[in-house]
Structure 1
Amino acid sequence: MNRKRNALISVMAALLSGLLVYGIYMLQLRQVKFQETVDVVAPVRFVAAGERLTNELLGVKQIAKASYSDEMLLAADGLEGMEVVVPLGANEPLLRWKVDKFRLLPSKSQSTFGIPRDYVLSVSNGIRAGDKVMVYASGDTVASERLFDEAVTVASVKTAGNMEIDDAKNSSLMSMASGDKEAMYASRRDAIGMIDYINLNLTEAQWLQLDALCKGGKSKVVIAYSPESLDVGSAVPAGEVP
């Protein structure tokens, strides 16, 4: 009986020893994983919103591989000339959504369409390039309703003299990038000129829908400013961790 009990105790002790060794191994493995590092792109100094990046502004920061996320950039290739959407701290890992380059250009699925003046019933006079707008249908042949489900981007707004509308001393785009709502409001108040031409970034389907509605002359569109203009974002491709 004692032999069986001693054998059982020996087996249990061996199992506990094995579990202890395995636990220590896993802890060491986790520690090694945290000690592994990866190089990510980071600014060498504070960078204000609206400032454009140069190669001299960008450096490399080592972080634990376990702290890496897909939003972080591994190489500075293609970042020169990018506009900073929000302020960046020195040595802060650069996230792809914090920079943008062509905010006023259409995406791959879009084109920039000049909306004919006789297609427009009204347009909010506070609209500026880079804003998001909602487009509504209005007319005798259709029920008044929102034409597109989502807001669309304004590529440019111009006067009859082909001049871009904005405040030359305090750009609305710069104020928007800095998140300064007061300065953005002031720049819109100080900007001079009535909107005669407006260009929107639309998909082909959106343009065809708008054109089919308005080309007969019985229906027009109303273009209204959207609060989505205050949202920022970007799409700079991120790399893969080696």
Structure 2
Amino acid sequence: MRKRRNAIISLTAAVLSASLVYGIYELQRVHMESEEMIAVIVPNRFIGAGERLQESDLEYKTVPQAVYVPDMVMKLEEAAGKETIIPLGKGEPLLLWKVDEFRLQPKRSESTFQIPKEYIRSISNGIRAGDKVLLYASGEGHPSERLFSAAVTVASVKSSGNVEIDNIENPNLISRAEGNKEQMYASRREANGMIDYLNLNLTEEQWLLLDGYCKGGALKLVVAYSPESLDLAGAGEDGGL
């Protein structure tokens, strides 16, 4: 009887010991798997260039941590609402440079205004769509002054043929999205064309002030490229555009 009881106890202890070892193994395996995989954002369908991403277009996908790169998007809010620069394949990890960090659409409080040519005294030929510019009022017999404390966003710059001025082979916006300041500089140097049409994203109050200054003809605008454009490119963020 005692031998039978000892055998049962030994068997029970062996089963418990085996269960403990197996449990520890499973915990270690799950822990290792969780460390080796990482969740990133991917499109759940093919998305063409120029489309504005919605949360419903995106989903999470786990990928091996070994293939992770810092440009991969890991949060929905980092991509939702932004425009695609190039087509995106279904299920491919979304990279930050593939979405437009510099939205050319006006904010809710803004509208896009085309600035009349007769309002402009001078304009920096180096500006491109997506840039930040500073506006100054200048005229004979009037002290020059800066119109707005903050720089405003350029929605587009076009030639007399209604063609966006840029370098076709190395577009400025793509260089900006990649944070490539050197390529941005090169694209500005190599782009050809005289700026005839300038569109700016302005609030109603900003437009009314600008129009009030310039419609009489005594004061005109000096449009200057702002170094804030390069700061935004290096930071890789939209800067509230």
Deviation, structure 1 residue 176: 1.0
Aligned partners of 2:153, 2:146: CA distance in 1, in Å?
A: 15
Listed as ranges, the matches of 1:8-87 within 5 Å are 42-43=40-41, 58-60=59-61, 73=75, 78=80, 81-82=83-84
| Cα distance in 1 between the residues matched to 2:136 and 2:107 | 22
TM-score (norm 2): 0.61
> For each residue in 1:167-196, what CA deviation from the matched residue of structure 2 results, as whole angstroms up to 9, or x when unmatched?
000001111111111111111111110101
Shift of 1:143: 1.8
Contact 2:83-2:99 within 8 A present in 1 as well: no
Q: Cα deviations across residues 119-150 of structure 1 (Å, max 9, x unaligned)?
A: 00000000000000000110135321111000
Deviation at 1:99, TM superposition (A): 5.7
Task: Report the Cα distance in structure 2 between the residues aligned to 1:76 and 1:234, rounded to whole angstroms.
Answer: 11
Map Cα deviations across residues 75-110 of structure 1 (whole Å, 9 max, x no partner): 8995685459xxxxx989x99xx9657710100000
Which segments of 5 or more consecutive residues in structure 2 lack a partner in the other structure? 1-30, 43-48, 63-73, 87-91
Paired position in structure 2 for 1:233? 237
Q: Which residue in 1 is equivalent to 2:15? A: none
Matched, 1:113 2:117: no
**Cross-structure match for 1:137:** 137
For residues 162 and 106 of structure 1, what CA distance do their matches in structure 2 show?
A: 20
Q: Where does structure 1 differ by over 4 angstroms across 4 or more consecutive aligned residues?
A: 50-58, 74-84, 98-102
The secondary structure found in structure 2 opposite 1:144 is strand
Greater Cα offset, 123-132 or 138-147: 138-147
Q: How many residues align?
A: 179
Give the 3 Å change call, closer, same or farther, for CA 79–124 of structure 1 in structure 2: closer
Counterparts of 2:103 and 2:123, CA distance in 1 = 21
Structure 1 residues 191 and 41: CA distance shift in structure 2, 3 A: same
8 Å CA contact 1:58, 1:76 repeated in 2: no
> Does 2:168 align with 1:168?
yes
Write the distance in 1 (CA, Å) between the matches of 2:142 and 2:208: 16
Alignment partners' CA distance in 2, 1:146 and 1:76: 34
Inter-CA distance 192–216: structure 2 relative to 1 (3 Å threshold):
same
Check conservation: 1:99, 1:234, Cα contact below 8 A: no
Question: Structure 1: how far apart are the matches of 2:179 and 2:149?
Answer: 26
TM-score (norm 1): 0.61
Where structure 1 has 5 or more consecutive residues not aligned to the other structure, the ranges are 1-34, 45-49, 62-71, 85-89, 237-242
Given residue 140 of structure 1, which amino acid in structure 2 is its aligned partner? E
Q: Percent identity?
A: 55
In structure 2, the CA distance between the partners of 1:169 and 1:153, relative to structure 1 (3 Å rule), is: same
